[in-house]
Amino acid sequence: MAEAKQNLFDYTEESIKSLDWREHIRLRPGMYIGKLGDGSSPDDGIYVLLKEVVDNCIDEHTMGHGRHIDITIEGKTVTVRDFGRGIPLGKVVDVVSKINTGAKYDSKAFQKSVGLNGVGTKAVNALCHYFKVTAIREGKEKSAEFERGILVKEYKEAKSGEDNGTLITFIPDETVFKNFHYVHEYLDNQLWNYCYLNAGLVINLNGKRYVSKNGLLDLLQRKTNADELRYPIIHLKGDDIEVAVTHENQYGEEYYSFVNGQYTTQGGTHLAAFREAFVKTIRDFYKKDYDASDIRGSICSAISIRVQEPVFESQTKTKLGSQVVFEGGPSMRNFVGEFLSKELDNYLHRNPTTAEALKKRIEQNERERKELAGIKKLANERAKKANLHNKKLRDCRYHFNDEATGKEKDAIIEKQKESTIFITEGDSASGSITKARNVETQAVFSLRGKPLNCFGLTKKVVYENEEFNLLQHALNIEESYEGLRYNNIVIATDADVDGMHIRLLLMTFFLQFFPDLVKNNHVYILETPLFRVRNKQETIYCYDEGEKQAAMKKLGSKPEITRFKGLGEISPDEFARFISSDMRVQPVMIMPETHIQDVLEYYMGKNTPQRQDFIIENLKVEIDLVDGKPIANE
């Protein structure tokens, strides 16, 4: 009773707080821009800031105003210039600093827009150290400058000789986005997607020109290898919907889905409708009840739809929740289903060669699935007997609950984004990470020895090889990629020759059998410090020789230098620093113009003179500058 009274006294009028728009965004940035991150992941907040600004430019283009967008990124400063109508001069300050203010609420001004909540540029403004907006309309311009959402200077209207449009410059706040940097490959994909969805639109980034003439057809041509396609890309267009689809030789399913120009990385109702409708149309065309996994196995497809008043599951708009295309209109399922049942069916009838090639791909998938059925059953039994979750996997407490609703579901979704599994080798390394990890969201999988080089092998080896079998069970991807238990797969190996080799073997495993994990940015390499430089007052951890030299210069007086040769040498207390919010990781990326099988053949196939020459030309000998002796060959 006494405790209850004490809790009552703790909850007073002073406990109730009212935040203005800027304070709320800065206190809960994840609600508005998703992950903060340092730029090593494509869904990190710095890319969302750019997206929120460019989305407004795209909406102008969609409404018929402005055919090109200029973007400049110099260091950490971003400038975006469109040539649309320009913000009405009297509302320039309000549009970027007053929540729930904007033209997106007027369906006459913006139809089928991606931004409907009046939040986008306000979030950018609040989360930036510096933000400036300039609107140009009919020979006049108006500007305003902000710092972390606070207006610091408002310019008077002035004459302008510039074309109509809006110019925004911003610098993300480094107290929010720590140690951030822009990865060009992510920017490249982001801008190409805008162009694929807006044929004819020209985007310039630091002088590089992006433009697409054929929409989603261009997208799939860039994402696939023409030599590996089983049939030419099928490209279908209708009112408010566009689809491109083909099948490759690799494993898995690969989808690119978009709503009103927004890349919905987590899919949603439109993608679910497409996957279902594609299976039904194929079954009806061939008049055979093929298994859905055989029809969709090795598929590579893109779908784009236009929806009035889209409902997304979060402000970051990565998953569509709308059940209908427009108010009073067809359901999403019926809209997509009717389109495919007509257009895809007609296409296959008109192109019998393509129809035959597609049938052969499906039947090949069917044969392989049946061949693996018995092996999979035995593999599942072995995984259970191996007591996976006690010996190989130190799991985290996070588990997704499909029945959760409201704030509970929002919190779980945020944890899902943070969920990470470290794949490491040996007891000492896994022990250090296990003791240092966040048990809520971080798991550890321990390898035993070096994995098998699986290049050129069939998926049968995944079930027959104990390490691979247990790893895929730990990730929960033995049935499909959709069951992935952890959003981030981090390869954590020693920074020596053996560690590099294990890293390559693991990357080969993922690229060979689960390429969609890599293509959807789930696989990373953990960076751990190579050196610890310290004196009695300060300790500095360094990730390369340059950082070490800078630390030695800063500390002076011959500081103590430790070279970490293995993860097991780093104490759990130290390790906790390197796998927390400031964790440094390098994403494993395969660029669209890079063909996986060619890369694996070069690096993991039989020795060739070309590879030997490459190794010799790129051989580096690391010298310990303390005693002048070689300490590692890379």
**Can you tell me the mean pLDDT for 175-188?**
89
* H or E segment to which residue 158 belongs: strand 158-159
For 190-239, the pLDDT digits (tens) are: 999 999 988 889 999 999 999 999 999 999 998 888 888 899 999 999 98
Indicate if the pLDDT at residue 550 is higher than 90: yes
- Distance, CA of 471 to CA of 465 (rounded, Å): 10
Q: Tell me the CA distances in angstroms from 592 to 115, 219, 552, one per residue in order.
A: 28, 9, 41
What burial class does residue 380 get, using C-beta atoms within 10 Å of its C-beta: 0-12 exposed, 13-18 middle, 19+ buried? middle
Give yes or no for a contact between 550 and 416, defined as CB atoms under 8 angstroms apart: no
- Three-state DSSP at 137 gives strand
Domains of the chain and CATH, by start: 22-210 (3.30.565.10), 216-370 (3.30.230.10), 386-528+564-589 (3.40.50.670)
Give yes or no for a contact between 477 and 468, defined as CB atoms under 8 angstroms apart: no
Q: Which residue has the tokens 């009212």?
A: 18
Indicate if the pLDDT at residue 403 is higher than 70: no
Give yes or no for a contact between 304 and 268, defined as CB atoms under 8 angstroms apart: no
For 512-543, the pLDDT digits (tens) are: 999 889 888 899 999 888 899 999 899 998 98
- For 287: left if phi > 0, alpha if psi spans -120 to 50, otherwise beta; the answer is left
Q: Which residue has the tokens 């200029």?
A: 70
Indicate if the pLDDT at residue 632 is higher than 90: no
Q: Tell me the CA distances in angstroms from 135 to 43, 82, 92, 168, one per residue in order.
A: 29, 10, 7, 9
So what's the pLDDT on residue 108?
A: 43
| Six token digits for residue 307 | 């929806």
Mean pLDDT of the chain: 84
Q: Tell me the CA distances in angstroms from 15 to 2, 23, 24, 27, one per residue in order.
A: 20, 17, 16, 16
**Can you tell me the mean pLDDT for 563-580?**
83
Query: What DSSP letter does each residue of 551-619 carry, written as one string?
Result: HHHHH-S--EEEE--SGGGS-HHHHHHHTSTT-EEEE----TTS-HHHHHHHHHSS--HHHHHHHHHH-
So what's the pLDDT on residue 12?
A: 61
Indicate if the pLDDT at residue 345 is higher than 50: yes
- Three-state DSSP at 278 gives helix
> First vs last Cα of the chain: how many Å apart?
66
Indicate if the pLDDT at residue 1 is higher than 60: no
* H or E segment to which residue 69 belongs: strand 68-74
Which DSSP letter does residue 281 get? H
So what's the pLDDT on residue 410?
A: 56
Strands 68-74 and 77-82: antiparallel
**Can you tell me the mean pLDDT for 161-176?**
94
pTM above 0.85, yes or no: no
| Six token digits for residue 532 | 């610890």
Indicate if the pLDDT at residue 5 is higher than 80: no
- Three-state DSSP at 273 gives helix
For 231-245, the pLDDT digits (tens) are: 999 999 998 899 999
Indicate if the pLDDT at residue 332 is higher than 90: no
- Distance, CA of 324 to CA of 601 (rounded, Å): 46
For 69-87, the pLDDT digits (tens) are: 999 999 999 999 999 999 9
Query: To 10 degrees, the CA torsion angle through 320, 322, 327, 329?
Result: 100
- Distance, CA of 490 to CA of 502 (rounded, Å): 13
How far is C-alpha 152 from the geometric centre of its chain's CA atoms? 35
* Main-chain dihedrals φ then ψ at residue 566, nearest 5 degrees: -155, 155
**Can you tell me the mean pLDDT for 263-275?**
87
**Can you tell me the mean pLDDT for 335-353?**
95
**Can you tell me the mean pLDDT for 44-60?**
90
